[in-house]
Amino acid sequence: MRNYKTQMEAAKKGIVTPEMETVAKKENMDVNELMALVAAGQVAIPANVNHTALSAEGIGKGLKTKINVNLGISGDAKNYDIEMQKVDMAIKFGAEAIMDLSNYGKTNTFRKELVAKSPAMIGTVPMYDAIGYLDKDLLEISAQDFLKVVKAHAEEGVDFMTIHAGINRRAIEAFRREGRKMNIVSRGGSLLFAWMMMTGNENPFFEYYDEVLEILREYDVTISLGDALRPGCLADASDAAQISELIELGNLTKRAWEKDVQVMVEGPGHMAMNEIAANMIMEKKICHGAPFYVLGPLVTDIAPGYDHITSAIGGAIAAASGADFLCYVTPAEHLRLPDVDDVKEGIIASKIAAHAADIAKGVKGARDIDDKMAAARHKMDWDEMFEIALDGEKARRFFEQTPPADRHTCSMCGKMCAVRTTNMILEGKEVKFCSEK
């Protein structure tokens, strides 16, 4: 029986956990260095005691940027078989986390299957599930009802939960005073705002925050402090509402650490490129170096159908500037529930952003695979290139669609391939084009 409740408690006591050993090996990091970062709250290792299929990952300072895949059913799209196909896709392409955002009916059967199957971290937003789980309308739900859902998710093995505890009366005052073009675009945030306005009560996750922390501590669930007032368009970025909530999240971070509960802080959704770096610095400062988890950010509002690209641009800048965890965005964002192909496109775009950022910020070993690709291209070894590629199946399919006459080139340049020409000259060979048959 382990003599600690959470990874943070163990780290503070100088205990190296199996999860820390796993993460240290993956990150090529000394385990004692990692333990110190966990103790300080600068790295989180979300690892519910009931998630036995988990292959632990670390999120935070000095580690590789991780990505999260959102999935789950809604009232208009209720096929769990398709959602499980998305899970398989996420695992295949190496997503480190999967969030079940199901918001219709009784979702616990799918969630239990997901936890039993997935080596990736599992996250949820209990607020989404409250109405279906409790079978009550919003106005009928009590503060203690919300806590019941949190406990149920924790018992089922969820590794991290988005809890919108920062949208309290002070933050709402700033939001209502200043006004916005897009108001509240967070689903959980809007539900809490509605509940607070209809009941006249304080946010239950803020008012009963200590009780929430006790539940999370019992199962070693990491709290992901939700950004209920995140900007939903460029015009609302870095406004009073967003910053007011962030200040509240900074205080809630310290309170969680006092209970040995690990923390991630969630960040903005839509933001112009020139504001991103400053926002990353501000979050780290206000939230005491806690790992930062961002949705995008999307750097323009005019690209529905291509928001996996707008978010990858913002995600790369954010991660290079200090963000630790990227939530993927699919081409279907703002339009419909994503299908399996959308999920794949979102994963690849987010993986590219995360990897590019890791290279930029000098994460140890990040560029090794790029150097391997360069060596394979130098040799014109297509099979090795496809093996190294993020999506080797797609790369091979493109190559074979218009096969070259000479296997040592591709159909774009053919025998005029720059690599082929240079290699031949350096090998002392004569380069010919017209006379070659």
Give the model confidence (pLDDT) of 116-160 as tens digits.
999 999 999 999 888 878 888 999 999 999 999 999 999 999 999
Q: Cα 233 to the chain's mean position, in Å?
A: 20
- Tokens found for residue 76: 């208009």
- Domain encompassing residue 382: 368-426
- Average confidence score pLDDT of the chain: 95
- 164 marked ligand binding residue: yes
- 327 marked ligand binding residue: no
Q: Which residue has the higher pLDDT, 102 or 94?
A: 94
- 180 marked ligand binding residue: no
Residue 391 and residue 266 share a domain: no
Q: Which of 54-58, 106-110, 339-343 has the lowest mean pLDDT?
A: 106-110
Per-residue pLDDT band at 436 (split at 50, 70, 90): low
- Average pLDDT value for residue range 199-216: 98
- 229 marked ligand binding residue: yes
Residue 310 and residue 413 share a domain: no
Percent of the chain with pLDDT over 70: 99
**Torsion sign across C-alpha atoms 102, 138, 297, 168:** negative
- 128 marked ligand binding residue: yes
3-state secondary structure of 60: strand
Amino acid at 297: P
Quick check: 125 and 161 in contact, CB under 8 A?
yes
Q: Which residues of 274-304 are buried (b: 16+ CB within 10 A; e: fewer)?
A: ebbeebbebbbebbbbbbbbbbbbbbbbebe
- 188 marked ligand binding residue: yes
Residue 432 included in any domain = no
- 30 marked ligand binding residue: no
Find residue 74's DSSP bridge partners: 77
- 413 marked ligand binding residue: yes
Domain boundary pick from 360, 395, 417: 360
- 68 marked ligand binding residue: no
How many Å apart are CA 169 and CA 192, to the nearest integer? 11
Q: Which of 72-76, 278-282, 298-302 has the lowest mean pLDDT?
A: 72-76
Residue 355 and residue 384 share a domain: no
- 350 marked ligand binding residue: no
Domain boundary pick from 323, 340, 360: 360
Residue 303 and residue 168 share a domain: yes
Per-residue pLDDT band at 435 (split at 50, 70, 90): low
Q: Which of 85-89, 106-110, 295-299, 342-346 has the lowest mean pLDDT?
A: 106-110
Q: What is the pLDDT of residues 348-366, one digit of tens each?
A: 999 999 999 999 999 999 9
Residue 272 and residue 237 share a domain: yes
pLDDT at 411: 86
pLDDT at 206: 98
Residue 388 and residue 269 share a domain: no
- 417 marked ligand binding residue: yes
- 169 marked ligand binding residue: no
How many Å apart are CA 28 and CA 43, to the nearest integer? 15
Residue 402 and residue 285 share a domain: no
Residue 256 and residue 380 share a domain: no
Residue 144 and residue 55 share a domain: yes
Percent of the chain with pLDDT over 90: 87
pLDDT(106) > 90? no
pLDDT(437) > 70? no
Q: What is the pLDDT of residues 369-404, one digit of tens each?
A: 999 999 999 999 999 999 999 999 999 999 999 988
Residue 417 included in any domain = yes
- The residue behind tokens 């890791």 is 358
- 255 marked ligand binding residue: no
Q: Which of 83-87, 114-118, 408-412 has the lowest mean pLDDT?
A: 408-412
pLDDT at 227: 97
- 70 marked ligand binding residue: yes
pLDDT(278) > 80? yes
pLDDT at 64: 98
DSSP label at residue 431: P
pLDDT at 399: 93
pLDDT at 314: 98
pLDDT at 104: 74
Rounded to two decimals, the pTM is 0.94
Per-residue pLDDT band at 102 (split at 50, 70, 90): confident
DSSP label at residue 298: B
